[in-house]
A and B are shown apart, each in its own frame.
Chain A
Amino acid sequence: MTEAVGTPGLKFNEPLLWEKGSPGRCAFSLPPRDVPAHSLDASLLGEGPDFPDLSELEVVRHYTRLSQWNFCVDSGMYPLGSCTMKYNPKSHERQAGLPGFAGVHPLLPPGLCQGALHVMYHLERYLSAITGLPAVSLQPAAGAQGELTGMLIFHAYHRQQGRLRHKLIIPDTAHGTNPASAALCGFKPVTAESDSCGILSADAVAALMDEDTAGIMITNPNTMGFFETRIRQITRIVHEAGGLVYGDGANMNAVMGIVDAARIGIDILHLNLHKTFSTPHGGGGPGSGPVCVTQELEPFLPVPRILRGPDGNFQVDDQFPQSVGRVHAFYGNFGIQLRAYCYIRSMGAENLKKASQLAVLNANYLKERLKKDYHLPCDRPCMHECVFSDKYQAPHRISTLDIAKRLMEFGFHPPTIYFPLVVPGAIMVEPTETESLEALDRFVEAMQTIAAESRDAPERLYHAPTTTKVGRLDETAAARKPCLSG
């Protein structure tokens, strides 16, 4: 095969921080003291935290070495389904790092932070244009907090209607955050079963929807990578019974410029700026999860809101009596919002639509190239991701986990595994639009090689990965006897 991109490479060992250093070192430049020392009441003084003293070079080498143990988008293809690991433009790091943005205090009077408010105000308008929903709050700090905000709005809306509702319909293909967010607001999740392709039928929803049901949370495209073709009937059924429709926009990268959430009948939709809008995932955050809502639900959005006065100046207003309140100490993750703003300004409408088309093209290309070697539970045109399983490999006693671990040795991050739960041994592949045809072909070649090895050399898979900093780790022992700090 083509030479794999992954090679063993030079890896340094590096101890824990407190296994290094020597008392009296410091990697921090303290300013000269220009005021007198003032002693605090001795009864308040502690001994100070037990941190090792390190030099600047010790700190630099420590983190440089640690960083080299990480796989990342900058180093290779990251086809992690449902996570949209697209390229994170370097230019946006420059913009977010400008002292005029990085240094802004969140409680400045609006007259002193018009640039920051400009970014937020316009990003709200852009997200509105992209989704078709008129009002937006950027405050939720991540997708799951966007969901929570949506559920708070469900709760506030039904209370205002004079009748609290207690149940919420959630399809069996949903991310775990959906039922967890609903439960936080006192809703009891009721599972709607989907068909073998994860598609929800209108009948399944009609059978569950009643006057004690607040509405539905639905991910579209769903986590099987398919568009919910019955969505219009479903939203109608929910609305006719007085419920609301929450759209989980985790998979928005498939449908920008194509789908209109408002026409579909979605009342609230959250977006993951760290997925669709190219902001870096940061090893697990910070993200950003704005919510977009209908005119009817706008009064419930979190405060403060960013408004534009008749003089063209931006203002901050928290006088919205029906608002669910604050979900963040300030404005949410502004630094992330700013990167998404830059992305949309750089792409424009045509390129965003093209990004969705190419994301779908890439996923369908992989689906066609890999379906001979990997079982495809549902062989039909997919959106931006497709779900395989380990069914063909299982007779050789090879599991999805083995396939994932072996892929690392070829220089690829594994796909999402064992999700969605409705497919046993799921392998969920989302290449994103920023991967080239050559990169996809290399991935296909690696996956084909692994399929052949499953038959001919299964031990290579059992032992994988051997070229990484550590091999397979004992997760059972970690959970049985937790050691969470040193």
Chain B
Amino acid sequence: MRYLPHTSANIATMLETVGVRHLDELHAMIPEDCRRKTPMDLPAPISEWELNAHMDELAGTNAVPSGCKVFIGAGAYDHFIPASLSALIARGEFSTAYTPYQPEISQGTLQAIYEYQTYVTRLLGLEVANASMYDGASALAEALLMAVRITKRKSVVLSAAIHPHYRQVVNTYFAPTGYDVHLLPYGSDGRTDFDSLADLAPTAAVAVQSPNFFGCIEDLGGGGAAVHRDPGTLFITAFTEPLAYGLLKSPGTLGADIACGEGQSFGIPRSFGGPGLGMFATRQAYVRNLPGRLVGKTQDREGRRGFVLTLATREQHIRRARATSNICSNQSLCATASVMYLASLGGSGIRSLAALNHDKAEYLKQCFKKGGVSIPFESPTFNEFVARLPQGFEKTHRRLLGENIVAGLHLERFYPELRDHYLFCATETSAKADMDRLVEEVCP
């Protein structure tokens, strides 16, 4: 096996040094009643050649953009990834390093993450960002737990227009805590209805998503003001499509206390939903309540600029049961990919790309409208929107799957009241010709 360098002669030499006669004796201290009785039932090993063929074959059974037109986003978006990024992120110096606990030989990772934190704060309009979390959903759950810690209040409120899977993850994290999770309904325009906030008891945090699960751009300014009528409540804004903030006002400028969400859109392939990137930013005042790793700037003995992991007294390896989170890693490589992506776009590029995404989705939406399809939510959208299709569209949807077109995501399984409602997504990768074909098939 090419990953195991030991020759028989090496093994003999080493066994002699160790003072045992056979490899099997190395585990002699393990009691008999802890041992396996049979070998592990695994397939026989295959060569690199066979593995390539096997994986090529499996990969060929998945519907991907080269052969299939997938018009769904819903938390995982198809964006172009430059070859320069793929080449840089593949460098073993980034991918095969560990957590930068030894800063003198980890400055590459540390500076990249410091730059990542800076880009996240600039994108979201907040003062501090952590070094990233597992994904958008767990980032939201951690944000709500952080709000509970800060406010010492035992309930939180979620907008019903937050990605249903994110809400499920929040419920999972909150189940053993005894804290209540309330739901804020969405209105007929597809946006969160903040009016019912007044009926709720004081709460630790109110969380919304913008653009929300229906693609609608929330009124964060109005929502933030409504939430902050109780100055003790934190306003959390989540996102699944951060590219929108290339165009839209940032959450921080609209009153968000914490902004968090998924960063997959920034140079990370969808990979069946992971690994992605949990982005997390907040106000300076809350920095010591932040979950997750942080990289900070400092100096060496010669006065040279350098970076280290810092404020570790919040974290599990120091504070153990009293830590701000149990998280021990970050999605370092994904965070690095995302800042490479944003560095490639630049301030001008992200604006143009965000505008193009909006234009593509708007084109599709207008074509649907012209074709007689109803667009039930009238709020402005970014690169996703909901369409209400004629009864029985399911059959057409199934037929189109056979023709390698995924015509939106049926919302009924998430929102039983939204029968025949489908969520569509178009990005810069959606060609006009493909959208025209979709319109032809979808419009009655």
Contact = CB atoms under 8 A, between A and B. Distances in A.
Nearest to B54: A345
B426 to A, nearest CB: 9
B262 A329 contact: yes
Given A53-B348, A99-B66, A330-B273, A284 B100 contact: yes
B295 A484 contact: yes
B387 to A, nearest CB: 17
Contacts of A74: 92-93, 96
Given A147-B326, A231-B34, A285-B329, A327 B40 contact: no
Interface stretch (B195-203, B227-235, B309-317): B309-317
A73 interface: yes
B318 to A, nearest CB: 7
Interface stretch (B102-110, B153-161, B184-192, B368-376): B102-110
Interface string A38-51: 10110011101111
Nearest to A29: B82
Contact of A285 (B36, B332, B360): B332
A26 B60 contact: no
Contacts of A99: 59, 64-66
A23 B351 CA distance: 13
Interface string B32-66: 01111101111111101001101111111111111
A358 B165 contact: no
B4 A102 contact: no
Contacts of A34: 431-432
Interface stretch (A81-89, A390-398, A448-456): A81-89
Contacts of A419: 317
Contacts of A400: none
Contact of A475 (B273, B305, B308): B308
A361 B274 contact: no
A410 to B, nearest CB: 12
Interface string A312-333: 0000000000001111111111
Interface string B120-144: 0111010111011011111000000
B104 A465 contact: yes
B254 to A, nearest CB: 9
A448 to B, nearest CB: 15
Interface stretch (A202-210, A238-246, A290-298, A346-354): A346-354
B3 A87 contact: yes
Interface residues of B, number: 206
Contacts of B19: 368
Interface in A395-443: 404-405, 408, 413-414, 419, 433-437
A310 B50 CA distance: 28
A352 B15 CA distance: 19
Contacts of A345: 43, 45-46, 51, 54
B343 A433 contact: no
A6 B82 CA distance: 34
A465 B306 CA distance: 14
A264 B37 CA distance: 12
A307 interface: no
A281 B355 CA distance: 36
Interface in B266-284: 269-276
A468 interface: yes
Interface residues of A, number: 198
B27 interface: yes
Nearest to B15: A361
A102 B18 CA distance: 45
Given A49-B119, A119-B58, A475-B310, A330 B272 contact: yes
A458 interface: no
B416 interface: no
Given A112-B63, A176-B318, A260-B36, A437 B30 contact: no
B257 interface: no
B222 to A, nearest CB: 11
Interface in B298-343: 298-302, 304-308, 310-313, 315-323, 325-334, 336, 339-340, 342-343
B304 to A, nearest CB: 5
A67 B65 CA distance: 31
Interface string A105-146: 111110111111011000000100110100000000111110
A453 to B, nearest CB: 18
Contacts of A324: 172, 175
Contacts of B355: 37
Nearest to B296: A478
Nearest to A323: B172
B27 A479 contact: no
Contacts of A348: 42-45
Interface in A40-76: 40-41, 44-46, 48-54, 56, 59-60, 62-64, 66-75
Central interface residue in A281, A344, A362, A433, by most chain B CB within 10 Å: A281
B255 interface: no
B347 A364 contact: no
A251 interface: no
Contacts of A369: 17
A360 interface: yes
B391 interface: no
A188 to B, nearest CB: 8
A287 interface: yes
Contacts of B319: 176, 180
B66 A112 contact: no
B323 A180 contact: yes
23 contacts: A31-B428, A51-B347, A60-B88, A69-B106, A69-B108, A72-B93, A73-B96, A115-B57, A145-B138, A182-B321, A257-B36, A332-B274, A346-B3, A357-B24, A358-B6, A381-B26, A381-B28, A404-B102, A413-B98, A468-B107, A478-B298, A482-B296, A484-B295
Given A100-B62, A360-B27, A477-B299, 18 more contacts: A31-B356, A49-B342, A101-B58, A112-B68, A114-B62, A176-B319, A176-B328, A177-B317, A227-B29, A258-B30, A282-B333, A284-B100, A286-B333, A335-B274, A353-B40, A473-B103, A474-B299, A483-B297
Closest 4 CB pairs of A and B: A330-B273, A100-B59, A106-B273, A282-B333
